[in-house]
Structure 1
Amino acid sequence: MTTTMEHTRDVLKNWPFPPPGGWEADDLDRLPSDGPNGELDIFKRVELIDGALILMSPQRLFHESVITGLRHLLDTQAPEEFRVTTQFTVKISKNQRPAPDVLVYNTAAAAPDRTFFQPSEVHLVAEVVSPESDYRDRKVKPRIYAAAGIEHFWIISDESGKPVIATYELDPDTHTYDCTGIYRDSFTRSEPFDLEIHFAELLR
């Protein structure tokens, strides 16, 4: 009998062509770090969008700095029932397992062997736009996150080297996001917890 790991190895022989029906969320747990032809760390950072594997390319310093800064600001203000992490997947459906740049999740969901969270465990997802992810971050991922019922979505853009944050909240009736503000200096929020974001601290 063919094991799931053997099946994954067989499918990878045809890389970069997807298997019939596309990749599935559970496939991400069976991918090696290196590619089938010896490509180093090609699957180290990967997400699944609409059944397609998205390999996350090396990012500009702006992208990495904002992710690090935002995680720190959220982490230092989060109450005990919340935790913050970066680039960790959310298993939404059979063919959707995105990896938000920053996410806030339930402390009760934390476990050393977790490889993904369920949407019900996640309260906020944030994406930092890069040139190669612009369309996905602005059009595709908000649709996926909203349909999954994730309450809060932020998108951070680069405006001449300075961050701009647009915040969104879920409309539970339409399962779409409503914009609640666009900020270039600082803002305060009471959801998912009381917090204050000063942009000068994002790029330190």
Structure 2
Amino acid sequence: MTVSGIDRLHSQLSKLEDMFPGYLTEIVEGSIVMNPVRPFHGKTILRVSANLEGQLPPEWGLVSDVAFPFDDANEFCPDIAVIPAEAEDENRSSYPADLIELVAEVVSPESVRRDYDVKPRWYASRGIANYLIFDPLKGHCVTMWNPGPDGYRGRDTIPYGPDLTIDSALGKLKIPTATLPVDPKARPQL
């Protein structure tokens, strides 16, 4: 994609964000992608963010839904990203992807492929140590670690219920999952 191509995408993205409040917009694989924000999505972000923020060392900050360009065709707006507090204090609308230490996405029906297939490759390629996928559609969290050039070499799936513990360069982080929302259709039928 050329410089004028990426500039055109950014211009279109800005217009769409203004026209469609309540939608998360990103550039993924050269296309502008818009997803409606659903209540379970927002509640998950709020609960996980509040819990994580209280555990972060003071030199780290938490941002949500700001842009991180990865290349000309991929500019992600993670649901939660942990970056240096010094960078967060700049209060920018976009940051270099290399600043991210931990990233989390919350799955929506429209984002399944991006969150499980596309983003792990990009996040791992930038050396982002920990990638968490919170999935209210399935009622579980997927943790990925040990990034390599082709993706993450470590991966666990943990059902919602017990606390999730992440060993990271930020320290041992615990996230309660028992109160995270789960789509009623995801619950087993009795």
Paired letter, 1:190: D
Paired letter, 2:37: P
The number of aligned residues is: 178
Paired letter, 1:127: E
1:1-204 alignment to 2 at 5 Å? Answer: 23-24=5-6, 27-28=9-10, 31-33=13-15, 40-41=19-20, 45-59=24-38, 61-158=39-136, 163-172=139-148, 174-184=149-159, 185-193=162-170, 194-203=172-181
Shift of 1:58: 3.1
Structure 2 residue runs of 5 or longer lacking an equivalent are 182-190
Sort the Cα spacing of 1:62 and 1:91 in 2 relative to 1 into closer, same or farther, 3 A.
same
Aligned counterpart, 2:187: none
Shift of 1:66: 0.5
Shift of 1:43: 9.6
1:91·1:98 contact (CA, 8 Å) conserved in 2? Answer: yes
Q: Any runs of at least 4 consecutive aligned residues in structure 1 with deviations exceeding 4 A, and if so which? A: 19-23
Q: Partners in 2 of 1:81 and 1:21 — Cα distance?
A: 34
Structure 1 residue runs of 5 or longer lacking an equivalent are 1-18
Secondary structure at 2:174 match in 1: strand
Shift of 1:21: 9.0
Secondary structure at 1:45 match in 2: strand
Aligned counterpart, 2:188: none
Cα deviation code 1:100-143 (max 9, x no counterpart): 11111111212444111212210111111111111111111111
Q: Partners in 1 of 2:177 and 2:78 — Cα distance?
A: 20
1:122·1:150 contact (CA, 8 Å) conserved in 2? Answer: yes
More strand by share: 2
2:104·2:134 contact (CA, 8 Å) conserved in 1? Answer: yes
Q: Provide TM-score, normalisation by structure 1.
A: 0.74
CA RMSD of aligned residues (A): 2.9
Sort the Cα spacing of 1:139 and 1:108 in 2 relative to 1 into closer, same or farther, 3 A.
same
Q: Partners in 2 of 1:109 and 1:136 — Cα distance?
A: 26
Q: Partners in 2 of 1:26 and 1:78 — Cα distance?
A: 37
Secondary structure at 1:70 match in 2: helix
1:166·1:182 contact (CA, 8 Å) conserved in 2? Answer: yes
Q: Partners in 1 of 2:147 and 2:13 — Cα distance?
A: 36
Larger radius of gyration: 1
| Percent identity of paired positions between Structure 1 and Structure 2 | 24
Sort the Cα spacing of 1:34 and 1:138 in 2 relative to 1 into closer, same or farther, 3 A.
closer
Secondary structure at 1:28 match in 2: helix
Q: Provide TM-score, normalisation by structure 2.
A: 0.79
